[in-house]
Structure 1
Amino acid sequence: MKLFRNRSFILSLVVLMVAVFFVPSVVKITHALSEHEHLECKAFGELHIHGIELDCDFEDFNLSPQNHSYLVEIPKPLIIEIPKRITFQYTFLSKYQKLHFALRGPPSAS
């Protein structure tokens, strides 16, 4: 456990993790900006075959995995409304409760 308390060890571990996380992005960007040559086909309308690029590692790794699960339409659950029947008695006004009209009058009389 003393190894994890050392600040230089933790700092080097964080730098290593950040480097591992960002190396694919940096490699792909540097390849796209400096190394990769885009050939344009100028022979339109003619039957021809293009040569294969064997040294291009541009598509060997994927930075963002493709997840198209949001495109699948999920059916909504069937909701059946059951009409509610009133099966209890109206007990709001009881004989033990003061009614609203019993408090009418001046505040000193109540």
Structure 2
Amino acid sequence: MTLRDRGNIKWQGFFMTEHNGMLKQFREEEKRVPMPDVDPQQMEEFERIICEAMAENLTLRFTYWVNYEIKDVIGCVHYVDDYAKQFRIVCENDEHFRLDFARVVDVTIVE
């Protein structure tokens, strides 16, 4: 006779719905990434890379922080808006994307 192990289902009876909700919330909070600090030297390097990319029409990969997550966007810088402190990026699928200066974590040239 073979025993069929039900895994975590057999322990589910010991948890209340509130406990499950709290555990789910706890796991989501553990995944959160605090905003990384970017020093002024890195910002200068980003500026140099962006200026070079705009002059030579190169594609860039912007790594940015939003809602406790790190995300990427790939595209060409169309315009740098100093007043609103945003980059206006044209993505590969012709979508326009606005990215705040303060959210940028890394900039690299895509080859």
TM-score for the superposition, normalised by structure 2: 0.24
User: Which one has more relative contact order, counting CA pairs under 8 Å at least 6 apart?
Assistant: 2
Give the number of the structure whose alpha-carbon radius of gyration is greater: 1
Name whichever structure is richer in strand by fraction: 2
